[in-house]
Amino acid sequence: MIPELGNFALVLALLLALAQGTLPLAGAARGTQSWMNLARPAAQGQFVFVAIAFGCLTYSFVTNDFSVLYVASNSNSGLPLQYRVAGVWGGHEGSLLLWVLMLSLWTMAVSVFSRHLPDDIIARVLGVLGLVSVGFLCFMLFTSNPFDRLLPAAMDGRDLNPLLQDPGMVIHPPMLYMGYVGFSVAFAFAIAALLSGRLDATWARWSRPWTTAAWMFLTLGIALGSWWAYYELGWGGWWFWDPVENASFMPWLMGTALIHSLAVTEKRGAFKSWTVLLAIFAFALSLLGTFLVRSGVLTSVHAFATDPKRGIFILAFLVVVIGGSLTLFAWRANRVGLGGQFDVVSRESFLLTNNVLLAVAAGSVLLGTLYPLFLDALNLGKLSVGPPYFETVFVPLMAPALFLMGVGPMARWKQAHVPELATRFKWAFAVAVAGGLLLPLTMGTWTPMASFGLLLAVWIVASSLTTLASRLKQTPGSGIAKWRAQSRSYYGMLLAHMGVAVFVVGVTMVKSFEAEKDVKLAPGESVELGGYTFRFDALNDVKGPNYVAVRGTFAVTQGASAVGMMYPEKRMYHVQKNAMTEAAINTRFTRDLYVSLGEPVEAGDGKAWVVRVQVKPFVDWIWGGCVLMALGGLLAVLDKRYRLATRRQSAPLPASDARLTAAS
Amino acid sequence: MHKSLFLFIILVCIGLSGAAPSRAADDAALEQRVQRLSEELRCLVCQNQSLADSHAGLAIDLKNQVREKLKQGASEKEVIAFMTERYGDFVLYRPPVKGTTLLLWFGPGLLMVAGLIALFARLRRRASETVEPSLTIDERARAVALLEGRTPGNPRK
Amino acid sequence: MKWWLWPLGLFLVLAVFLGVGLTLNPREVPSPLIGKSAPHFQLPQLHDPEKTFSQKDMLGKVWVLNVWASWCGPCREEHPVWVDLAKTQVVPIYGLNYKDKRADSIAWLKRYGDPYVLSVADTEGRIGIDYGVYGVPETYLIDKAGVIRYKHIGPVYPSVLKEKILPLIAKLNGNA
């Protein structure tokens, strides 16, 4: 009964989405107030029904209703409760429902937090979001219904993929989807602006907090995914340039460019068509990611089971949504005014240069990801594009962007002077060079790559602090008052940039100084790596709720002092018969020790294993940096001026003036 | 159909694993070369791992081959040639530079140069096109107020 | 051309590629060995390890080399196809027993039937690597000059045999 209820709720949600996607848009075009007024209730009703459907599916999982095909395929009566809940989004159909839930949640948020927006704008924004929702609900109902029955019911389920039975899996997809789907709001604002012809600084101000919020979630989602891969896949890598990872990274790069471009548009009313294009691209890449993951056109470690019919549906949807909006863009973009004036050397220009670099980076990832497909489609052979390619291409693109990150915040808006900038940054640059040259020596060896990476990281920190110091000096008042006079979004920017620096330190140190060894070890033997001694003490059988495992016991010492015990496992899950490597990780502020069991060595007494031990300096800084970036985003979203804008908007403003610019 | 193919690959992975263990060498320098080289080679069984990462039986065999060849004094190039003769360019995570990969290798660089040139051309043109000073919202509201004969100073009336 | 048309154009090109991509199988790796001489081997025979067998022994004949193992599940799936084909005597089938234990393989053949003229034991998997084997079963069709003309990865189903392999055998035999 419950699954049918869920199915029915989805149908009702689709009907409401249809209403939300058509009438308000038509109303805005014709000026019919009553039609425009439908947008909010329709959006909120849609959210309620999607939430009901989601609740129904969760209920089916929790109660082990194996007469539902999706539950039978992704759960098992032996599965612990928390993973039964996470199992809701453990497969294609349910994760699609999560997508739709997130979409309706964002839509709901827009309908609630946008009281200050003009009626026609809000009608258009919600209308566009409604249309996107129609597409996904149709996709779900017609090709991938999570409520499909399995008759007769299965005795027991086929279990959730053991890789996904992990706390990281419980939160990674919701975060990631919040980010992915969040860009639909920026997209909807962009389309609304194009439709209304009112593409101005106010538009940028409205969509800025939404974009930053989505970006924040995406940052966290990607970081969580990377961290999960690191400890769960069992071989110590944290980023593989796998198509599915790239699918989440491309919208992130575009979104980052968009955030910075929105700053220029809000400040100067300039480069509006470019900003709109970035908003369309960010969401287009989110949709493309969905296509790549769910259609099976590329091989990937973590793609869903695929079905060509689904691929065709998403492709068609992609063509309608993206093709449609790019057509709208081509039609409207030429009518956009130029905006305010600024110099070739100015903060605006630095931001836009960074923008170009980020967009090119996203384009390169796209090229590398799809290149095997291009060649194959043209019958020119098969090849692989992997980490060595991306690393070769990516570093030269990102290095100047990181350098500009230091310069940009210091440069004046409108007009900056190179000699003045040079004087201001003299010290920051000297510190960066010294740091870059000397810091690698603390690790014992000096390599150009390590030196360069650390130079960039120190540069970002030093130049940011220089900027902060001079900003504080210019602020009147004393002590704490000076600090409090700076806006939250300024601190947000600072924090996010520091996050990038921390991230760069992590990546540089891991890439330059990580050590690993694959050795054959029997209990009693030990191996030495990077100053640590790993002694293999024992091997035991252990029993989990739905798996059996062998667990190794390793005692780790550094010189004479004990570091700790580590317990890597090799698990065999009962239902899917998958062997899973559960690595043991010993974390300290500046390094991780990583031990994983490979394969048993058959020869000999049968107790020896191939063991992989790794020392990974500063690896946790990678994710720590991402968390700082996300926190920076959070601070920026909470900035007072977005709420100030709320009040100010109530006073009538001269509507559309291309040269109108917003106060800081 | 696709699902069964996937299962088949999983089965193959499991079937092949646990065969011969990796013969990890004692020679650290050699081991580092083996490691670096096998990070550039794609495991064909579990296709989205490098040979270095994969525990599949075939990957271990191939890694042993790499080690043996290097030990015999083969260069990295020769080992890569050995692999591509048997498995094609598909095994290389770093695609070779040739006619069909020119766009792949030089596309990003070209895109960056083109993007930066376009941006600076546009910035220069803009700087000469927009001459009027722009107003902030507050300035504008004050100007409107002045024009309407109200007292300036409070932009919100 | 106006720059704002570019994004749309590029996107449409991309969409066409994605559409074509849906019809392709990204997992299939074509062998670079097709059209090249079959790599050399000289391996002990499975049933009679005293004797060896080499690909050279087959010069002048069109033949099938099938890579199999007793631990390989999908091999059992395709096995009836070979057993039936062997009965028709259209083509001699030789087995490359890949990374297997001798006793296991012989028992396996006893149980499911032995379509092979003979099998050779590649215990270490060396020859497998030379032939670019990455997923068992794999099947090679080699012509009279000792050149590999066709390779199939994964189980050979009756449809593959009928549509691809048999016509090619007829062609290779007819042309000589």
DSSP result, chain C:
--GGGHHHHHHHHHHHHHHHHTTS-TT----TTTTSBPPP-EEEBSS-TTSEEEGGGGTTS-EEEEEE-TT-HHHHHHHHHHHHHHHHTSS-EEEEEES--HHHHHHHHHHH----SEEEEETTSHHHHHTT--SSSEEEEE-TTSBEEEEEESPPPHHHIIIIIHHHHHHHHHH-
Q: Which of B1, B7, B44 is the mutation pick for testing C, counting most C CBs within 10 A?
A: B44
pLDDT at A156 over 70: yes
Same domain flag for B68 and B92:
yes
Q: Bridge-partner residues for A534, per DSSP?
A: A527, A556
Distance CA A552, CA A566 (A): 8
Question: Within this chain, do residues B24 and B88 fall inside the same structural domain, yes or no?
Answer: yes
How many Å apart are CA C125 and CA C133, to the nearest integer?
9
pLDDT over 90, % of chain A = 44
Chain B CB contacts of A449 below 8 Å: none
Per-residue pLDDT at C96: 93
Tokens 């969401």 belong to residue = A283
Model confidence over A227-242: pLDDT tens digits? 988 988 777 888 888 8
Dihedral sign from CA coordinates of A208, A213, A214, A218? positive
**Which residue type does A316 have?**
A
pLDDT above 60: residue A142: yes
Is a pLDDT exceeding 90 seen at residue A219?
Answer: yes
Contact B88 A654 (CB under 8 A): no
On the question of pLDDT at B149 being above 70, the answer is no
Which segments of B40-137 are extended strands (E)? none
Query: Would you list which residues of chain B are within 8 Å, Cβ to Cβ, of chain C?
Result: 5, 8-9, 11-12, 15-16, 19-20, 44-45, 47, 57-58, 61-62, 65, 84-88, 90
Q: Which residues of chain C are at the A interface, by a Cβ-Cβ cutoff of 8 Å?
A: 2, 4-5, 7-8, 11-12, 14-15, 17-24, 26-30
Of C7, C17, C21, nearest to A329 by CB-CB distance is C7
Q: Do C135 and B9 touch (CB under 8 A)?
A: yes
Domains of chain C by residue range: 35-172
User: Could you tell me how many residues make up chain B?
Assistant: 157
Distance from CA of B72 to the nearest CA of A (A): 21
- In the structure encoding, which two tokens stand for residue A403, read together? 């350098």
Q: Are residues B27 and B85 in the same domain?
A: yes
Average pLDDT over residues A498-517: 91
Residue pLDDT, tens place only, C53-107: 998 888 888 999 999 998 888 888 899 999 999 888 889 999 999 988 889 999 9
Q: Which amino acid is at C149?
A: R
User: How far lies A531's CA from each of A70, A231, A527, A618, in Å?
Assistant: 50, 22, 10, 16
Count of domains in chain B? 2
DSSP designation for C66: E
User: A555: pLDDT confidence band, cut at 50, 70 and 90?
Assistant: very high
All partners of chain A with 3 or more CB pairs under 8 angstroms: B, C
Query: Which residue range is the domain that position B119 belongs to?
Result: 100-147
Contacts with A368 from chain B: Cβ below 8 Å:
104
Per-residue pLDDT reduced to its tens digit, A409-467: 888 787 777 887 888 888 888 888 888 888 888 887 888 888 999 999 999 999 999 88
Q: Is A574 exposed, middle or buried (0-12, 13-18, 19+ CB in 10 A)?
A: middle
> Which 3 state secondary structure label does DSSP give A516?
strand
At the topology level, CATH places domain C35-172 in Glutaredoxin (3.40.30)
Beta bridge partners of A548: A543, A572
Do the domain assignments include residue B7? no
pLDDT of A294 higher than 90: no
- pLDDT, residue C163, reads 87
Listed residue (C150, C155, C131) closest to C140, CA to CA: C150
Chain B hits for A529, CB-CB cut-off 8 Å, are none
Q: pLDDT tens digits for B53-100?
A: 777 778 888 888 888 888 888 888 899 998 888 888 888 889 988 888
Mean predicted confidence (pLDDT) in C107-116: 91
- The two tokens of residue B96 are 């070779």
Backbone angles phi, psi at A94, to 5 degrees: -70, -35
* Best to test chain C binding among A293, A322, A602 (most C CBs inside 10 Å): A322
Q: Nearest CA to A580 among A91, A166, A222, A79?
A: A166
Q: Which of A274, A295, A517, A599 to mutate to test the interface with B (most CBs of B within 10 A)?
A: A599
Q: Is 90 exceeded by the pLDDT of residue A137?
A: yes
Instruction: CATH number of the domain at B39, please.
Output: 1.10.8.640
- pLDDT tens sequence across C21-58: 888 777 777 788 888 889 999 999 988 889 999 988 88
DSSP label at A653? -
* Residues of chain A positioned with their CB less than 8 A from the CB of B141: 653
- Of the pLDDT bands very low, low, confident and very high (cuts 50, 70, 90), residue C159 is confident
Q: Helix H segments across A241-298?
A: 243-268, 272-295
Distance of CA B19 to the CA centre of its chain: 32
Encode pLDDT of A202-218 as tens digits.
Answer: 888 889 999 999 999 99
What's the average model confidence in pLDDT over A498-525?
90
* Structural domain contains residue B134: yes
Q: How large is the average pLDDT for residues A609-633?
A: 93
Which of A257-266, A494-503, B135-144 reaches the highest mean pLDDT? A494-503
Cβ-contact A87, A75 below 8 angstroms: yes
C30/A381 CB distance under 8 A: yes
Quote the pLDDT of residue B146: 65
> Does A356 sit within 8 Å of B119, measured CB to CB?
yes
In chain C the first and final C-alpha atoms are separated, in Å, by 58
B121 and B142 fall within a common domain:
yes
B84 and B106 belong to one structural domain: no
Residue A576: pLDDT band (50, 70, 90) is confident
B64 and B39 together in one domain? yes
The answer, yes or no, to whether residue B152 has pLDDT greater than 60, is no
Radius of gyration over alpha carbons of chain C, in Å?
A: 20
Domain assignment present for residue B121? The answer is yes
Q: Is B148 on the interface with A (CB under 8 A)?
A: no
How is residue A298 written in tokens?
């590329």
Percent of chain A with pLDDT over 70: 93
pLDDT above 80: residue A220: yes
Query: Which chain C residue has the Cα nearest residue A329?
Result: C4
Chain C residue numbers with beta carbons less than 8 Å from the beta carbon of A334 are: 2, 4
What rounded mean pLDDT belongs to chain A? 86
Question: Looking at CA atoms only, how far is residue B140 from chain A in angstroms?
Answer: 8
Residue C12 with chain A: CB contacts under 8 Å: 319, 323
Q: Of B89, B112, B127, which has the smallest distance from its Cβ to A383's Cβ?
A: B89
Which residue in the set B22, B95, B120 is minimally distant from A389, CB to CB? B95
pLDDT-wise least confident of A130-144, A243-257, B84-98, B102-116: B84-98
- Dihedral angle over CA of B26, B32, B34, B39, nearest 10: 140
Which residues are CB-neighbours of C8 under 8 A, at least 6 positions away?
Answer: A323, A326, A327, A329, A330
| Claim to verify: residue B22 and residue B81 sit in the same structural domain | yes
Residue whose C-alpha is closest to residue A6's, from A140, A180, A159: A140
C129 vs B9, B61, B84: nearest CB: B61
pLDDT tops 70 at residue A485: yes
Nearest chain A residue to B142 by CA: give it.
A653
- pLDDT per position as a tens digit, B94-120: 998 888 899 999 999 999 999 999 988
Q: Are residues B36 and B63 in the same domain?
A: yes
pLDDT score of A302 more than 60: no
pLDDT digits (tens, 9 = 90+) for A38-54: 899 999 999 999 999 99
Do B41 and B89 share a structural domain?
Answer: yes
For residues B40 and B84, state if they share a domain: yes
The answer to whether position B133 is within a domain reads: yes
> Domain check: are B17 and B91 in the same one?
yes
**Residue A655 confidence (pLDDT) above 70:** no
**pLDDT at residue A658 above 60?**
no
User: Tell me, what's the pLDDT at A651?
Assistant: 40
| Cross-chain CB nearest to B90 (options C29, C71, C129) | C29
Q: Is B6 exposed, middle or buried (0-12, 13-18, 19+ CB in 10 A)?
A: middle
What stretch of H or E contains C90? none
Q: Residue C5: which of A291, A299, A330 has the nearest Cβ? A: A330
Q: For tokens 């739709």, what's the residue?
A: A100
Whether residue B5 is contained in a domain is answered as: no
Counting every residue written for chain C, the total comes to: 176
Instruction: Encode burial over A76-96: b for 16+ CB neighbours within 10 A, e otherwise.
Output: bebbeeebbbbbbbbbbbbbb
Both B82 and B28 in a single domain?
Answer: yes
Asked whether the predicted pLDDT for residue B148 surpasses 70, the reply is: no
Mutate one of A309, A373, A380, A385 to test the C interface: name it (highest C CB count within 10 A). Answer: A373
Chains that touch C (3 or more CB pairs under 8 A): A, B
pLDDT, greater one: A279 or A519: A279
- Examine the pLDDT at A351 and tell me if it is beyond 60: yes
* Phi-psi region at C113: left, alpha or beta (left = phi > 0; alpha = psi -120 to 50): left
Instruction: Give me the pLDDT at residue A459, please.
Output: 93
Sheet with A584-588: list strands edge to edge.
A515-521, A609-617, A591-600, A584-588
Q: How many CB atoms lie within 10 A of CB B18?
A: 18
Check residue B53 and give its pLDDT.
76
Residue A315 to residue C14, Cβ atoms within 8 A: no
